[in-house]
């Protein structure tokens, strides 16, 4: 089992009035110009997942990693939205672009629901007005809808959806559902009617990764990746949040075809990491190093791409 050191050296940046990002100390003495901005999933915050710290210490010269805190981090996600996350992430990208200089490369790496934030940023409403990024990494992209459906009874799911829809009809979409309705499926924290519907409904705002989405739907999401934002997709081979009925190799193939059909660029390092769990927290060193190897290869692909354009 690999875990990051409890104490991490780096720089805390305030990229917006109430939002921060923690930049890990680079693995070399050179001042790095290129950034990976890591965005966690539901309940995650800075330094709640070990592998980003390990990845930061193994990045090539010229690269560093910063963990991004959003209002949706930790317990804030229940009353948030992907649109709000994308707006805050745009502020973070803009901050580091100005700090590192126009020649810098900015990559966003999403973990779990952070992958949905990344999809919203690149392909969702308002994408034209957001600062461009030079690469995107989806690590452990999973369907919250399918995951929740596999743990809820039909009656419980139906009650939550019907109650949330009634709240929305009454103009109360921002109000949390009563705990007597929502139970403890996602912990005892406030979850708005809007966010429940976003997570549970087919084609809801959070529904980017379900295996039953049509090719037409995928064309609007994965098919919307621009050529200037190459994509790396990393599935976890033993992800405990993926229902056993889902064939991840087949799903990866569908996403890959959607990206490439519209001239998007999919990294050759994409694939399934054998034996990896959702956040790799309890995985052996060789599993974590396989993730590191693929991400490092992706940064090298980006470096080579920039070099070829300049030559």
- Predicted local distance difference test score (pLDDT) of residue 10: 87
Q: Which CATH class is domain 10-143+210-303?
A: alpha beta
Predicted pLDDT of residue 229: 98
Return all residues near 98 (Cβ < 8 A) that are at least 6 apart: none
pLDDT given for residue 186 in this prediction: 81
- Residue that is written with structure tokens 């973990």 in the block: 111
- Specify the DSSP class assigned to residue 192: B
CA dist., res. 77 & res. 191, Å (int): 8
CA distance 116 to 141: 8
Tokens in use for 94? 């803009």
**What per-residue confidence (pLDDT) applies to 2?**
65
Query: In this structure, are residues 69 and 20 in contact, taking their beta carbons and an 8 Å threshold?
Result: yes
State the Cα–Cα distance between residues 160 and 171, nearest whole angstrom.
Answer: 17
> 39 vs 1, 5, 21, 192, 217, CA distance in Å?
23, 19, 10, 22, 24
What does the pLDDT read at residue 306?
A: 54
| Residue 240 DSSP SS3 | coil
Question: What string of pLDDT tens digits covers the 311 residues of the chain?
Answer: 667 777 888 899 999 999 999 999 876 667 789 999 999 999 999 999 999 999 999 999 999 999 999 999 999 999 999 999 999 999 999 999 999 998 899 999 999 999 999 999 999 999 999 999 999 999 999 999 999 988 889 999 999 999 999 999 999 999 999 988 887 778 788 999 999 999 999 999 999 999 999 999 999 999 999 999 999 999 999 999 999 999 999 999 999 999 999 999 999 999 999 999 999 998 999 999 999 999 999 999 998 875 444 33
Pairwise CA distance, residues 108 & 36, whole Å: 6
- Phi-psi domain of 100 (left: phi exceeds 0; alpha: psi -120 through 50; beta: other): alpha
- CATH 3.40.50.1820 in the chain, residues? 10-143+210-303
Q: Please give the pLDDT value at position 29.
A: 64
Q: Order the strands of the 106-111 sheet from edge to edge.
A: 10-16, 19-24, 63-68, 34-39, 106-111, 135-139, 231-236, 271-273
Structure pTM?
0.95
């Amino acid at each position: 089992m690999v875990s990051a050191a409890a104490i991490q050296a780096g720089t805390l940046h305030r990229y917006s009035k109430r939002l921060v990002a923690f930049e890990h100390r680079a693995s070399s003495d050179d001042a790095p110009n290129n950034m990976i901005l890591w965005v966690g999933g539901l309940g995650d915050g800075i330094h709640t997942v070990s592998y980003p710290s390990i990845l930061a210490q193994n990045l090539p010269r010229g690269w560093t990693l910063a963990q991004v805190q959003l209002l949706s981090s930790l317990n804030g996600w229940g009353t948030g939205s992907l649109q709000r996350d994308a707006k805050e992430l745009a502020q973070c990208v803009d901050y580091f672009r100005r700090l590192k200089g126009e020649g810098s490369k900015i990559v966003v790496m999403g973990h779990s629901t952070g992958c949905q934030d990344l999809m919203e940023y690149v392909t969702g409403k308002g994408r034209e007005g957001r600062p461009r990024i030079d690469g995107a990494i989806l690590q452990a992209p999973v369907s919250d809808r399918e995951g929740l459906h596999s743990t809820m009874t039909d009656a419980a799911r139906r009650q939550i959806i019907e109650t949330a829809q009634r709240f929305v009809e009454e103009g109360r979409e921002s109000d949390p559902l009563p705990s007597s309705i929502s139970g403890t499926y996602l912990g005892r924290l406030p979850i708005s009617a809007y966010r429940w519907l976003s997570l549970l409904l087919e084609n809801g705002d959070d529904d980017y990764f379900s295996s039953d989405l049509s090719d037409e739907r995928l064309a609007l999401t994965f098919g919307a990746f621009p050529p200037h934002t190459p994509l790396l997709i990393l599935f976890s081979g033993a992800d405990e949040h993926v229902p056993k009925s889902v064939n991840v190799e087949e799903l990866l193939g569908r996403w890959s075809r959607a990206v490439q059909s519209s001239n998007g660029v999919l990294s050759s390092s994409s694939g399934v990491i054998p034996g990896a769990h959702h956040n790799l927290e309890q995985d052996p060193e060789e599993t974590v190093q396989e993730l590191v190897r693929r991400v490092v290869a992706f940064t090298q692909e980006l470096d080579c791409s920039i070099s070829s354009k300049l030559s």
